[in-house]
Amino acid sequence: MELQKKKNLQRIFAHVCLIAAALFFIVPFIWMVSTSLKDSTQIYTFPPEWMPNPFQWRNYIDATAYIPFFTYLNNTVVITVLSTVGVVISCPLVAYSFAKLKYKGRNVLFVITLVVMMIPAQVTMIPLFLLFNQVGWVGTNLPLIVPQFFGVPFFIFLLRQFFMGLPDTLRDAAKIDGAGEFRIYLQIMLPLATPAIFAVGLFQFMASWTDFIGPLIYLTDEMEYTLSLGLQQFQSQRGTEWGLMMAVATMMTVPIIIIFFFLQKRFIQGITFSGIK
């Protein structure tokens, strides 16, 4: 009885801590949405009012009129989707080879991958810019898409750990049945790694959707800008109109929340590396 009571108290304490942490993260989002629906006079009232009165839905229409919002949205969607597809195609393939295939130099290549993962992005920023400038990609969205088709070290590392948790007996049984290595990867190992691949895809989606430095460096034409650059441009032009700026920020944030809501189960499975029973 005492043991059960102790477990209940621990569970209650854990839930209280989680709820407090959730409130810590959700309050800024609620304030952003609330501000996006207020007029300028209500935004500056003290003490602050959480509930807009009346709701200024016009802020969203005006915000999309001040900048080419839907052009920026289209550019962001193209870059995000293609870069995510590149990661989902390339990273599992490389990770599987590191985890399950035995070939000369495998460990050396994996160590190189880990070393590359540890190099700060600021170190490679200028060399990469010079490289892409030499091939004529500066001013296009290719530097933001093409490198993802060659793998991302961090995602390769995560997926390798997942593949290593899958039993080799599955591969052995498939080989006895006459399956080749690529067929084993495609029809057996890849479906089992779906949760981890979903997690990696969601990480890449969020990184590309919110990326600011990459588009700032490589995109020169205003009509090729992404939402991150559009939000910065809006802030520089109309930084005092907080209602409109929060409306743009809300429209940029909501798609990520919706995608995470529908994929949260697979995302959690992926990051916990549950494997199979």
Question: What tens digit of pLDDT does each residue of 221-232 get?
Answer: 888 888 888 888
The dihedral sign for the CA sequence 237, 126, 200, 115? negative
pLDDT on residue 92: 92
Cβ partners under 8 Å of residue 31, min gap 6? 50
pLDDT on residue 274: 42
pLDDT on residue 194: 85
What's the CATH class of domain 67-271?
mainly alpha
Cβ partners under 8 Å of residue 256, min gap 6? 205, 206, 209, 210
Determine contact, residues 250/39, Cβ cutoff 8 Å: no
pLDDT on residue 89: 92
Entry pTM: 0.82
pLDDT on residue 267: 62
pLDDT on residue 2: 66
Residues in the chain predicted with pLDDT less than 70, given as ranges, are 1-3, 237-240, 264-277
**3-class SS letters over 242-276:** HHHHHHHHHHHHHHHHHHHHHHHHHHHHHHCCCCC
